[in-house]
Each structure stands twice: as C-alpha cells, then as structure tokens.
Amino acid sequence: MDDAGFMRRAIELSAACARTDEGPFGAVVVRDGKIIGEGVNRVVPTGDPTAHAEIVAIRAACQAVGSHVLDGAVMYTSCEPCPMCLGAIWWARMSEIVYANDRADAAAIGFDDDAIYREVAAPLDSRKLPMRRLSASEALEVFRLWHAKPDRVPY
C-alpha cells in the first residue's frame, strides 16, 4: 500500500464512524509499510474525551509493537490532529503526520480547536482556564527521586 492507500483506509474508518454516534474521524499508524494501529473516534461511546481516532490508533500501535516509542511511524489521519493528538504523536516520537481535512474544515462542522491552540500559546497568567502552582517543592523531590533511579525508562 502507498500513501494514498493508507489515507484511503483512514478515510474509510472515518466514514464508518460518521454513520454511528461517534465523530467522523479515522486514523492509521504505519511503520515499515504496514498498518500497526487503527483508530476511530470513541469519545461518546466510551465517555472518554481523550479517545480521539489518533489516540486510539496510537494505543493500538503501541500495544502491537510492545513499546511507547513509535519512531519511524507515520500517522495518517482523516483530519489535522487537534492539539492533544498532536502532543501524543510527538510523545510517541512518530516521524510524520499525513492528514486530509484541515482544522478549518473541522471547525465548519462543529469541531473547533482554535480556542485550545490560542490557550496553549498564551502566557500562563492570561489563560482562560486558570492554572496555579501548589506544593512544588514536595513534587520536585519525587522528580529528583525518579531522575536518580539507575533503571528508569527514558521517554
């Protein structure tokens, strides 16, 4: 299968999902020319706001390869990833994102992520969702403990 074939699969998944009570999103993770994970939007049926197609596909791919690292993998997704999914793709160390619909297309049907993009870019003290720091020194001790662990697994 080539790029177009992998994208077709992501769009097929999104179309099947759109016929249900789930959002119209599908994604596949590909490594070495093979699909290693697929996902559709599962937010409503699972009651999990993180169950976007890309996250579901990443979870499946990680389980398939037995690792939290998906280096060399490509995310094919029916829509430009939201900020949460983009972060997950970065954390998984994937090498590329290929998408069909963009964020403006998603906003036009009610999936508008612009507020989140603006919130993430804003300084902490001017964000709409208040953030405050508490017990930093206690929490920092745990970080020091973990960092000193000789057998820690790096992310």
Residue numbers annotated as active site: 54
SS3 assignment, position 103: helix
Task: Confirm if 94 and 75 have CB atoms less than 8 A apart.
Answer: yes
- Closest of 53, 59, 117, 45 to residue 91, by C-alpha: 59
- Residue from 33, 15, 36, 37 nearest 25 by CA: 15
Q: Residue for token digits 């020194």? A: 137
Bridge-partner residues for 101, per DSSP? 79
Q: For residues 136 and 71, give the distance between their C-alpha atoms in angstroms, rounded to a whole number.
A: 33
Of 77, 70, 1, which is closest to residue 33 (Cα–Cα)? 1
